[in-house]
Amino acid sequence: MLDLSDYIIGLLFINDCVILPGFGGFVANYQEAQHDATSNTFTPPSKKLVFNSNLSYNDGLLINHLSQQLSVSYAEAKEMVRQSVEDVWIRLERGEVVKFDGIGSFQYGEGDALVFNPEITENLLTDSYGMFSFRFPPLSYKTSDEPIINNDNIRHMPNLSSRQILSYAAILVPIAALIALIPIYRNADSQSASVIPIEDTVTATVPKSSVDNAITESTDKRRALFYSETPAQKVEIHKASNTDCTYYIIGGSFKDKANAESYMKKYRKDGFDSGIVHADNLYRVTLGSFDDKVFALHELRRIRASEKYSNAWLYPVAK
């Protein structure tokens, strides 16, 4: 029997939702960096894996991936998945614990409820590649009430006799007097230089008529006062798409078109640019569409922050 664990993990690295048709969907939600104060352990950002049994329809992601990896047809890959899922259900009905290596285990709990215990061995968040958990003990600080004195920075003044003090004063006092007199001489020179006899000043005036004539001869007055510019051409900026897919954020999938249209109206009331994508005999109600996968993942993370849309997932469609 084909073990699907490695294929599911590989898809979870680049997708936030991988559906195992006929069984359920593995949804990876972003989890911020963690700090455990008890063990002083720091954990990098990661993906928290949850299981949603309602996501059991075939979205084509896993089967197409198997078809490419195993070089088989789509029908053959679909049959492999069907047999693997059938084997999982049979083992669960026997009361066994079914393990998906590196993902987690399944078993029936109280009230025949399917219980998923995640056992992720790798960090599925590619942004945290190369980061590992580590322990860092808390720092301890010692305080002291006594002041710390550094004797190296203390300078001791030499003992001077009265004769030495008088000799220093005889040198410094004349120098200080000269420095004090410099600004006074500068102010006196600047004041005398700024005085200009009124009789020597000449005011140059130009007849107004000569100015008007000069303007008239060189340019047309109407052109000088009024001018027109050709309107700037509108430049359209097209964002280059780095993918051949359109990425839809799916809020729900329905077999009945009327139900899909009803939910589309609800999503639009919540402010989403909602629409309907029909594929695989299902009407998928979208919360938004993007040509760039990075933008789509950022928007998906923002939408999932709301508990109401925590099960939203990304659906790529080839153009």
Residue 271 CA, chain-centre distance (Å), reads 22
Is residue 189 very low, low, confident or very high in pLDDT (cuts 50, 70, 90)? low
What pLDDT, on a 0 to 100 scale, did the predictor assign at position 146? 65
Domain 245-318: CATH architecture, name and number where available: 2-Layer Sandwich (3.30)
Is residue 184 very low, low, confident or very high in pLDDT (cuts 50, 70, 90)? low
* pLDDT greater than 70 at residue 233: no
E-only strand ranges, 239-312: 245-254, 275-279, 282-290
User: Which range among 177-181, 267-271, 282-286 shows the weakest confidence by mean pLDDT?
Assistant: 177-181
Query: Which of 29, 14, 108 has the alpha carbon at shortest distance from 61?
Result: 14
**Chain length of the chain:** 319
Helix orientation angle between 5-14 and 61-70, rounded to the nearest 10 degrees: 110
Average model confidence (pLDDT) across the chain: 77
Is residue 147 very low, low, confident or very high in pLDDT (cuts 50, 70, 90)? low
Report CA torsion sign: 246, 252, 257, 261. negative
28 in Cβ contact with 16 (< 8 Å): yes
Q: Rounded to 10 degrees, what is the CA torsion of 287, 291, 293, 298? A: -50
What pLDDT, on a 0 to 100 scale, did the predictor assign at position 240? 37
* pLDDT greater than 70 at residue 110: yes
313 in Cβ contact with 27 (< 8 Å): yes
Global confidence as pTM = 0.43
> Hey, where are the domains in the chain?
5-135, 245-318
* pLDDT greater than 80 at residue 32: yes
Strand partners, 135: 41
What pLDDT, on a 0 to 100 scale, did the predictor assign at position 109? 85
User: Which range among 1-5, 54-58, 194-198 shows the weakest confidence by mean pLDDT?
Assistant: 194-198
The secondary structure of 127-163 as a DSSP string is GGTT---EE-PPP-----SSPP--GGG--PPPP--HH
Amino acid at residue number 75: A
Report CA torsion sign: 43, 47, 48, 49. negative
* pLDDT greater than 70 at residue 198: no
* pLDDT greater than 90 at residue 151: no
Query: Which of 261, 319, 309, 285 has the alpha carbon at shortest distance from 16?
Result: 309
**Could you count the other beta carbons within 10 Å of the beta carbon of residue 246?**
17
**Percent of the chain topping pLDDT 90:** 28
Strand partners, 99: 105
What pLDDT, on a 0 to 100 scale, did the predictor assign at position 19? 93
